[in-house]
Structure 1
Amino acid sequence: MAFKKKEFGDKRDYHQELTDKTKKDIDELIFILDNNPNLKWEAKWLICKEAPINPATGTKYQGINRISLSIQRFPDNRFYTYNNIADMEKIRAKNVFDTKELSSQLDNKSITYAEYDKKMAVIEKSFLDLEDKGLLDRTKPMHVMKGSIGTPIFKAIQLSFKNNSIDKNEEIVNDQTASSESTIKIWKQVYCGTVHNASNIANIKPKFEYKLDFIPHEETELQLRSMIEIKGMEYEEINQGRAYFSPSQNKVVMPLRESFETVNDFYGTLLHELGHATGPELNRDQSGGFGSKSYAFEEFVADISSNFMSSELGIPYNPSQHENHVAYLKSWSKALGDDKEFIFKAAAKAQSVVEYLNDTRHELKVKLGLIVEHKNDLKEVVKPTVSNEIINKPVVRQKM
């Protein structure tokens, strides 16, 4: 008689589940494109218009968690744990009870108006905190709706292994390879809990419309300028149809801006190439040719990081703007099928790209005086948006 693995109490393989979900989405896109060769492709396997967040804790989900939550296609970017909602409801219910109790005490003259006002101020502050976290109606309970299916999230932990027992594909943190008995450490993404989307929670506020405090195209120009001025990257726009990064020259080459169908297509492609441009300093293998596993991995990292950076900078992401994207999809599908850790490794690298680019742009802003850092408390004062004259300082050498 055949038995399913879980009948013996085996734990769920969350890494395999996320890999399977990602591969399924990519395979569906490949099928559509293969059967509609003239279709202009605007579909995406990953949608990151806004980074998923947890308003109860202030967490902004990154890396693999950003992928795990984004590919669920929820219209709301807010996620809560079951305990987040249970704790908020406990506080809400207590506030309601205490409010009624104080009103009764005031009617019975067992407390003064001054005492009532003082205690109600504390309750009001508590309600305002709950409302900041998402509470809609103070008089109604909050709860995760029946039938809601949560989404797993992961946490990076450090594990120690004997050198002769480690998987060579793992991310090594501290490599002591003097002998086969040496102990080495790796980072491993492990399942740490489940979160529920705000759309599946009762008595939650409607989604707040996120507004940028900068002009997307100007901010992306600052990102480009920061890579040139802070990191010494070469940059050129020429009259040809291919965008690429040359590791040997540390140079990004782009087609002429006016050759792109939309300005967003230009900046989206630029962010993809800037993702590649972080490779040398972040020690990624960029030596593989098209069709190799290392090439597929590098393109996967660049695709994920440009997704992330597009949402960071307010640039609509359009995957069809990237050359050979369908071929990349097929290579990623194969890699996902061969290695359930492929997407976890790529997400970690992509998050490093985002942090690198954000830090570099921040450094330029400090240099330009757009941000003033106070060394005593590390707080920042952001000045008004820089003028076009400053942002568009000539950095492009064009050839016809």
Structure 2
Amino acid sequence: MHGRRVGARAGEGRASLYEEITNTIIGELEAGHVPWVQPWGTQAAKAQLALPRNAATRRPYSGINVLILWGAVIERGFAGQSWLTFRQALSLGGHVRKGERGVTVVYADRFVPLDAQQRARETGDEAQAIPFLKRFTVFNSEQCDGLPEDIVTAAPLPPAGAIEPVVESLIANSGVDFRIGGDRAFYAPVEDFVQVPPPSAFFEPINWHRTALHELAHASGHASRLDRDLSGRFGSRKYAFEELIAEIASAFSCAALGIVPTVRHADYIGCWLDVLREDNRAIVRAASQASRVADYLLGFAPGAAGVVEASGTDCAAA
């Protein structure tokens, strides 16, 4: 995403913001990079594994903004995941350094046009809300001077061995019928159960936990939970869209818990590209749904208030 430079004049482009975001994600996927799975822990990434947060409000960013800000920390080599607006930096006693380039994040909402409201009153029908995105510019805390020390200090990662029990408690607390066995992982929507092979079947033990979170993301869509459309058949656009939601949701959940995200279904990249090329709002909708899923699942983790805070709509958290 293009940013703004402090002290420089920046005009709003005419291109659809949805299109800008979608084209960025498509470009990453075409280059073989999956935006919700960044090279955390490698020399290419200085940033600590975490969900990005607003430094002033301490609220986590959500939806497409997570992907935008993760991409920015990798591209620019930031070590921290704290962001804030120009005014927020001033309100905290600091300032954004002159010449620093910000990152455009978005606030997603809906509105009902006046003419649609009038027609609804005349016909008695329900007025249709139109989705829109509004731009905000944020800066990483490393682009600022004079901020309080606690703003720029990253929270420590969980100690080794502490993550797995949290995921296992989350599974138990979710109430989902979770079965261990067989040779493949899946969620059966009609019977409403998750099945995952035993941990011994995985090359790395933590892969079992990643897989469990992915399948639980699908299970969250059941009518008794978040009620998503799970009727898509394998190979269909609807099926690919649900896989996109589950992939991003499990990446968000993993990052919040201190697990390095990975791609579970890289073979779906072609299908995801088809979905994004067909609908330039698909990635924003998928990321928004993924945040809802991650918040839902992380709510079952022990000490959930410390793991995730409800982040509401896809906003700049500002």
Task: Identify the TM-score tier after normalising by the shorter chain.
Answer: 0.7 to 0.9
Distance in 2 (alpha carbons) for counterparts of 1:15 and 1:290: 27
**How much does 1:187 deviate?**
6.9
> Of 225, 231, 250, which aligns to 1:287?
231
Determine whether 1:225 maps to 2:175: no
Amino acid of the structure 1 residue aligned with 2:80: D
Root-mean-square deviation over aligned CA pairs: 3.2
> Of 248, 259, 270, which aligns to 1:315?
259
Distance in 1 (alpha carbons) for counterparts of 2:136 and 2:207: 37
Q: Secondary structure at the match of 2:92?
A: helix
Count of aligned positions:
276
Distance in 2 (alpha carbons) for counterparts of 1:9 and 1:270: 43
Between structure 1 and structure 2, the one with the greater Rg is 1
Matches within 5 A, 1:76-95: 76-89=80-93
Which stretch of the first structure deviates more once superposed, 46-55 or 333-342? 46-55
**How much does 1:266 deviate?**
0.7
Unpaired runs of 5+ residues, structure 1, are: 1-7, 31-42, 90-141, 166-176, 372-379, 382-400
Determine whether 1:17 maps to 2:20: yes
What is residue 281 of structure 2 aligned with on the other side? 341
What is the TM-score of this pair, normalised by structure 2? 0.76
With over 3 angstroms needed to count, the CA separation of the structure-2 counterparts of 1:274 and 1:216, relative to structure 1, is same
Determine whether 1:64 maps to 2:64: yes
With over 3 angstroms needed to count, the CA separation of the structure-2 counterparts of 1:179 and 1:249, relative to structure 1, is farther
Contact 2:37 2:262 in 1 (8 A): no
**How much does 1:208 deviate?**
2.3
> Of 354, 360, 371, which aligns to 2:294?
354
Give the number of the structure with larger relative contact order, counting CA–CA contacts within 8 Å between residues 6 or more apart.
Answer: 2
With over 3 angstroms needed to count, the CA separation of the structure-2 counterparts of 1:185 and 1:315, relative to structure 1, is same
Distance in 2 (alpha carbons) for counterparts of 1:27 and 1:75: 26
Q: Secondary structure at the match of 2:215?
A: helix
Unpaired runs of 5+ residues, structure 2, are: 1-10, 41-48, 307-318
Contact 1:158 1:185 in 2 (8 A): no
Distance in 1 (alpha carbons) for counterparts of 2:192 and 2:182: 20
Amino acid of the structure 2 residue aligned with 1:182: D
Q: Secondary structure at the match of 2:106?
A: strand
CA deviations 1:191-248 (Å, max 9, x no partner) are 24110112322345554242338921011001110123xxxx22222241x2100001
Q: Secondary structure at the match of 2:228?
A: coil
> Of 112, 117, 120, which aligns to 1:160?
112
Q: Secondary structure at the match of 1:279?
A: coil
Contact 1:223 1:357 in 2 (8 A): yes
Matches within 5 A, 1:2-151: 11-29=14-32, 45-47=36-38, 49-72=49-72, 73=74, 74-89=78-93, 142-151=94-103
Contact 1:55 1:79 in 2 (8 A): yes
What is residue 214 of structure 2 aligned with on the other side? 272
Q: Secondary structure at the match of 1:60?
A: coil
What is residue 191 of structure 1 aligned with on the other side? 134
With over 3 angstroms needed to count, the CA separation of the structure-2 counterparts of 1:202 and 1:345, relative to structure 1, is same
Contact 1:163 1:184 in 2 (8 A): no
Of Structure 1 and Structure 2, the greater helix share is in 1
**How much does 1:151 deviate?**
1.6
Distance in 2 (alpha carbons) for counterparts of 1:51 and 1:45: 11
What is residue 133 of structure 1 aligned with on the other side? none
Matches within 5 A, 1:164-175: none
Contact 2:37 2:261 in 1 (8 A): no
Distance in 2 (alpha carbons) for counterparts of 1:358 and 1:187: 30
**How much does 1:29 deviate?**
0.7
With over 3 angstroms needed to count, the CA separation of the structure-2 counterparts of 1:283 and 1:188, relative to structure 1, is same
Distance in 2 (alpha carbons) for counterparts of 1:179 and 1:295: 39
